[in-house]
Amino acid sequence: MAKRNADGAAGPDPGFPEIRVVEASAGAGKTYALAARYLRLLMEPGEELGAILAITFTNKATREMKGRILDLLKKLALDAFDRPEERDALSEKLPASGGAVASRAAALVDRIVRNYHSFQVQTIDSFINSLLSGCAYELNLSPGFSITRDRGDYLAWSVDRCVERAAREPEIRETIEAFVTHYLVFDRGARWLPKEEILRTVAMLSDERDRHGGRFVASGVSPEPAVDALRRMLLRLQARIPEGTHANLAKALRTAVSARGRLDLGALSSVYFVRDEFPMTKGREAPPEIRELWRRIRAAIPEAAEAEARAFFDCDVRLFGFASDECAARAREDDLVFLGELNRRARELLASGRVGVPELYLRFATAFRHFLIDEFQDTSGLQWMNLEGLVREALSTGGSLFYVGDRKQAIYRFRGGDAELFDRVAADLAGQAPVRRETLGLNRRSCRAIVEFNNEIFSPGNVARFVASLSPERDDDPRALRPEDIDRIAEVFGSARQTHLPGRAPGFVTVEGVDGDRVRERLVPLIRELCGRFEPREIAVLARGNEEVEEIASWLSEEEIAAASERTLSVAHHPLVREICALLRFLDSPVADLAFAAWITGAIFTAAAGVSADEMRGFIFSLRDARRRGGTAYLYRAFRDRYPAAWAAHFEELFRNVGFVPLYELATDILRRFGVHRRFGEYRGFFLRFLELIREQEKDRGDIASFLAYLEAGTGEDLFVRYPGVNAVRVMTIHKAKGLGFPAVVVPFLDFDPGGARGAPRYRTVRRGEDAALVRLEKKYTRLSPRLRDEDRDEHRRRVADELNAVYVAFTRAAEELRVLLPAPKRGRNAAEGLIPAAFRERGEPRAGTVRGQAARPSAVDSGPPDYRDWIAFLREECVDPGEILRRGEIERGEVLHCILALLGDLSGGGAEEALRRAAAGARERFPGRRCLPDCEAVVRRLLDRPWAARLFAPGAGAEVFTEKEIADASGGIRRIDRLIVRPESVRVVDFKSGAAHREAHRAQLRGYAALAAARYPGRAVAGTLVYLDRGEAEEVAL
């Protein structure tokens, strides 16, 4: 900490430059540690707000950290801590004390609010986006380039483009043919149409490249020479196989060389091919020439296996090169960057040397001196490479690096996260600044029983014992981890032991075995039991995959237990939204009978039309016989004939407007027309998110068909409706739960599967400088090659660590109760049983009593259902009638007449002729050169001579006259009333018309004006007069 002066302020901190590494186990308060560090830096004398950069990995974490920083500053400024020890603990971390802290904190709050753009707490993607925006020219992009998350359409277009080019470009044709041949030979889940496999491969390689950066290159290895040489030796062995050869070897040999004219390396993984001596039956010995041939075969097998494994993806890589070039060119044309490639594009820019750190700071308009990084265990090597230059520059100028994380919670390796960076970065930078390490060991989230349970389960000794028990006995099996591999895994959990806060409830932990087919039978009663002690929103059910989440959510929903999951809160899966989509699909294609049937039998239409779903279903089924007799072809036509009134009221307008109005306006018209918000207000969030999605996608998917296709294919948070106040059991994946805490947590499907059954890729990315290559890690290769086996063993070690980390994250989410189910598979044993010894399977005791009373939450302000304007009708009223263009002379004459009349005020004092001359002069000034001006002046003069004109133009004392009076309607639109006469007891609306061809429309318009006047002047009698100027007539309109 900095040395303080007598007034409590601090001088320049002699502790910089500094690298501080904080390992914070679950619930230890890493966000608080980051916020406190930020305050400590911000309070350094002369430190600029914009010179401190805090990087998080999610928008939620960004909001949380910003809120925590401001909250702590306000507490310091107002001395508003709940406990004195909390204030003292924070003050110890700051370079000031006493009154100096409070005054500086108040000043910092003001500085942050006034310079919020310099409050640099942001996600890594946001920071990289800023970097790329400042260097858009070097990337051949405009400064305002767009970022899009989904590139599926672009990749599909790129593959189509490659197939099209293959017809005239031999290189691409040969690459596609090689891919298809390889695809069929190796039977990678062969489908009838290989184009789907091509697209899947291109998408997979795109994601892999974004995780690791660089470009994929072919292996440079041709496996054919090594494989063919090995096959020739095996054929020679088969021809000379001696009497007494082990039968299983002879059988494996026949299988290997008879595989459709090529060598099947998989058959060589037999235990007999890995023996150093030629396998003979007992008492027999192979001839010397066979032993020599066997020695050469044994030496050639690893070479052939390695060659084929390293060249396995060569055709994929070449095809990906063509497709990715097409995709990149199309993206440049559209001036966009894909979200997933931000870090890769930044790395390519920085590695090219076109932009250095000083120039970056110039474009950022600031120089960062201090870096704070959250969740460092999930940082990828690519992300760190983008930051490293900036960090080194900061350290060289007296800055600092502070990063916090927990290697035990590294569960995002599939996104490129590299937990080994946690130690490696500090070691690499140690020459530039001293490294100070800190471990946060106090668990502020969980009760004693949960903390003690996790201390036992994740102790290094228990972890090492468990991992060792997973290893098979065969040394040539990549799953057979070596002692040093086990030690590396166990070392990560060296800091797992935590203490707990005193004075809290004991907490409760249970681990139960259950038959794999009876998980539901145990889970549902368990949730009901927990609902007796906790609010549903306080209970979380955690699973590994989305399929399990959907299954659990459906179980709970069927048992009438409120459950909130990505599926239950997904716009695409909400039944009422799906009804609206069915209507849109019908409007887009009226021959879509299924869509029309789904709409007319749905809840929205039946409620609006006042019919029952049973009646609609009966109508649909009644058409079967009619269709057999050659009746109406399409369902909507039969409906229109059977229910003409319902068709006219609910479909006619929509049917006529579709294709002529934007999708967003069409959707809002549907919601308004069928009273969806009014009738189904509890689901308003889904309807509003549905409209938001239409707006967000309207640039790329503005038509009905493409938007519905996006909605059907969309997944993840884009479609998620956030209901913070919904009181439902949370069902989510362990990955989604990371960083969250819940009073009660249930893990119903605990297992341990590092073998890849969850879809783990059977390949490994190998770095080659800035480039990368892929190696196939299939059993038939790894068993034959010690080098590949070591690579696969290292990958298996990482998968074991991933599984342990996922279990650790799941077990550390609970604050008061942790309930775990261990499903027994139909065959074998659940490997997770070995992690939890029987003595640890129950600890503590459940909370006594029923659901605790919670402090009343401030209820959200319900603004009522949205009132959508009928844009179709509005546009009809506001837009120019085509006929008006043909009557341009009449329109100009009407404008002059209205101008003269508007300039005629209250003529009650006489002088009508003089007032008319002034009004006509004003009209000439506004419309110079109009030939109709004399005629218009004469028309108004004749009008003023009419007997009834006096009551409209000279209403007498007590009347107030307004011309062109503007009044706002309920939707905010402005209406202008030609002449409004207001008396204390009455109001008269006067509307001037030059022609009398549409009298009924004129009356309707006047009644609308009269309604606005009545609302503006409540309690007064309202009258309305239509004045036809050319006819010199006045009509009193009944209101």
pLDDT at 942 over 70: yes
Cβ-contact 564, 722 below 8 angstroms = no
- The confidence score (pLDDT) of residue 710 equals 87
Specify the amino acid at residue 6.
A
Domain boundary among 670, 693, 719: 719
* Co-location of 317 and 353 in the same domain: no
Q: How many domains, in total, are found in the chain? A: 6
d(CA 469, CA 635): 64
What pLDDT digit, counting tens, does each position of 16-64 carry?
899 999 999 999 988 899 999 999 999 988 889 999 999 998 888 999 9
**Please, which residues have CB within 8 angstroms of residue 17's CB and are 6 or more apart in sequence?**
394, 395, 396, 397, 398, 399, 400, 432, 433, 434
3-state class (DSSP) for residue 772: strand
3-state class (DSSP) for residue 870: coil
pLDDT at 633 over 90: no
- Sign for the CA dihedral angle at 944, 949, 952, 955 comes to positive
Residues found in the chain: 1039
Alpha helices in 92-151 (DSSP H): 99-114, 124-134
What pLDDT digit, counting tens, does each position of 346-364 carry?
998 888 888 888 888 777 7
- Residue 695 belongs to domain with CATH number: 1.10.486
* Co-location of 910 and 802 in the same domain: no
pTM: 0.78
What pLDDT digit, counting tens, does each position of 271-281 carry?
778 788 898 88
pLDDT at 600 over 90: yes
- Residue 101: pLDDT band (50, 70, 90) is confident
* Co-location of 185 and 240 in the same domain: no
d(CA 195, CA 182): 13
- The confidence score (pLDDT) of residue 619 equals 92
Asked if residue 936 belongs to a domain, the reply is yes
d(CA 261, CA 1006): 91
* Co-location of 182 and 320 in the same domain: yes
Cβ atoms < 10 Å from Cβ of 43: 23
* Co-location of 819 and 899 in the same domain: no
Cβ-contact 12, 419 below 8 angstroms = no
* Co-location of 594 and 712 in the same domain: yes
**Please, which residues have CB within 8 angstroms of residue 212's CB and are 6 or more apart in sequence?**
380, 381, 382, 416, 765, 767, 772
Alpha-carbon distances, residue 111 vs 118, 119, 900 (angstroms) = 10, 9, 58
- Residue 880: pLDDT band (50, 70, 90) is low
pLDDT at 860 over 80: no
Q: Which residue has the higher pLDDT, 269 or 123?
A: 123
Q: Which residue has the higher pLDDT, 148 or 262?
A: 148
Asked if residue 358 belongs to a domain, the reply is yes
Alpha-carbon distances, residue 18 vs 23, 40, 358, 395, 803 (angstroms) = 16, 13, 21, 7, 34
Give the closest residue to 356 by CA, choosing from 138, 55, 118: 138
**Residue written as tokens 């209101």?**
1039
d(CA 55, CA 34): 10
Asked if residue 852 belongs to a domain, the reply is no
- The confidence score (pLDDT) of residue 977 equals 93
Q: Which of 216-225, 555-564, 750-759, 928-937 shows the lowest per-residue confidence on average (mean pLDDT)?
A: 750-759
d(CA 332, CA 205): 20
d(CA 937, CA 1029): 11
Q: Which of 172-186, 294-308, 755-769, 989-1003 shows the lowest per-residue confidence on average (mean pLDDT)?
A: 755-769
The CA angle 130-134-135, to the nearest 5 degrees, is 120
647-684 b/e with 16+ CB inside 10 Å = b? beebbeebeeebeebebbbbbbbbbbbbebbeebeebb
C-beta pairs of 479-484 under 8 Å, 24+ apart in sequence: 479/754, 479/755, 479/793, 479/796, 480/793, 481/793, 481/796, 481/797, 481/800, 482/793
Specify the amino acid at residue 930.
R
pLDDT at 330 over 60: yes
pLDDT at 1004 over 60: yes
* Co-location of 904 and 1019 in the same domain: yes
Residue 365: exposure state from Cβ atoms within 10 A (0-12, 13-18, ≥19): exposed
Residue 314: exposure state from Cβ atoms within 10 A (0-12, 13-18, ≥19): buried
Asked if residue 578 belongs to a domain, the reply is yes
- Residue 885: pLDDT band (50, 70, 90) is low
Q: Which of 211-215, 331-335, 846-850 shows the lowest per-residue confidence on average (mean pLDDT)?
A: 846-850
What pLDDT digit, counting tens, does each position of 56-92 carry?
988 889 999 999 999 999 999 998 888 888 888 888 8
Asked if residue 5 belongs to a domain, the reply is no
pLDDT at 3 over 50: no
Asked if residue 10 belongs to a domain, the reply is no
**Residue written as tokens 């308003």?**
684
* Co-location of 617 and 523 in the same domain: no
Cβ-contact 270, 252 below 8 angstroms = yes
* Co-location of 301 and 320 in the same domain: no
What pLDDT digit, counting tens, does each position of 454-490 carry?
999 999 999 999 999 998 877 777 788 999 999 999 9
Cβ-contact 1020, 1013 below 8 angstroms = no
Domain boundary among 440, 460, 486: 440
* Co-location of 390 and 404 in the same domain: yes
- The confidence score (pLDDT) of residue 401 equals 97
Domain of 922 in residue numbering reads as: 880-1037
- Residue 610: pLDDT band (50, 70, 90) is very high
* Co-location of 697 and 740 in the same domain: no
- Residue 347 belongs to domain with CATH number: 3.40.50.300
Q: Which of 239-243, 393-397, 819-823 shows the lowest per-residue confidence on average (mean pLDDT)?
A: 239-243
d(CA 505, CA 499): 14
* Co-location of 97 and 198 in the same domain: no
C-beta pairs of 980-984 under 8 Å, 24+ apart in sequence: 980/1013, 981/952, 981/955, 982/1017, 982/1020, 983/955, 983/958, 983/959, 983/1020, 984/958, 984/1020
pLDDT at 185 over 80: no
HSE-up of 830 (CA within 13 Å, CB side)? 18
What pLDDT digit, counting tens, does each position of 517-528 carry?
999 999 999 999
Gyration radius (Cα) of the chain, Å: 38
Asked if residue 211 belongs to a domain, the reply is yes
Domain boundary among 311, 326, 349: 311
- The confidence score (pLDDT) of residue 891 equals 81
% of residues, the chain, pLDDT over 90: 55
Q: Enter the tokens of residue 1027.
A: 């004045």
**Please, which residues have CB within 8 angstroms of residue 265's CB and are 6 or more apart in sequence?**
227, 256, 301, 304, 305, 308, 780, 781, 784
**Residue written as tokens 């009545």?**
1014
What pLDDT digit, counting tens, does each position of 187-245 carry?
555 566 678 888 999 999 999 999 888 889 998 888 889 999 999 999 999 889 888 88
Cβ-contact 635, 621 below 8 angstroms = no
d(CA 963, CA 992): 11
How confident is the prediction for the chain on average, in pLDDT? 87
- Sign for the CA dihedral angle at 330, 331, 333, 334 comes to positive
3-state class (DSSP) for residue 776: strand
- Residue 11: pLDDT band (50, 70, 90) is very low
- Residue 1011 belongs to domain with CATH number: 3.90.320.10
pLDDT at 634 over 50: yes
What pLDDT digit, counting tens, does each position of 682-741 carry?
888 889 999 999 998 888 788 999 999 988 887 666 777 776 567 899 999 999 999 899
**Residue written as tokens 């910089």?**
16
Cis peptide leading into residue 472 (ω within 30°) = no
Q: How far is CA 496 from the centre of its chain?
A: 32
Over residues 128-150, mean pLDDT: 86
HSE-up of 579 (CA within 13 Å, CB side)? 18
Asked if residue 868 belongs to a domain, the reply is no
Q: Which residue has the higher pLDDT, 662 or 885?
A: 662
